[in-house]
Amino acid sequence: MTHDKWVKLTPEEQRVKVAELCRLDGLVPGNSSWRIDEKGEAAYIPDYLNDLNAMHEAEMVIPDAFVRRRYYQVLDKITGDQWNTIVATAAQRAEALVLTLEPE
């Protein structure tokens, strides 16, 4: 995915995209708030764009050091420089994760 495609997605579509990359089970097509968990119960899809804790959990899907380095390079580009990555917002981290794990 490119930055241009990312910004054209609605916030709900962006949340679902991150959830898909995190391999959350039970995603309901057309629903950006709820999924069906392993118990068959409704569960909330984390608010990846506004919740840093959710994004830190999402970052755990990065498979190896090489991809993690690429993720930080993308995040550097989004935030402006490497020092800004320390204070990157959840939305910036979500974009970097998608652009890293779903290359064009």
The reported pLDDT for the residue numbered 31 is: 67
Q: What is the CA radius of gyration of the chain?
A: 14
Q: What is the pLDDT along the chain (104 residues), one digit of tens a residue?
A: 999 999 999 998 999 899 888 887 777 776 667 777 777 777 888 899 999 999 999 999 999 999 999 999 999 999 988 778 888 999 999 999 999 999 77
Q: What's the pTM?
A: 0.86
pLDDT of residue 36: 76
Rounded to whole angstroms, how far apart are CA atoms 17 and 40? 22
Residues 6+ apart with CB under 8 A from 84: 76
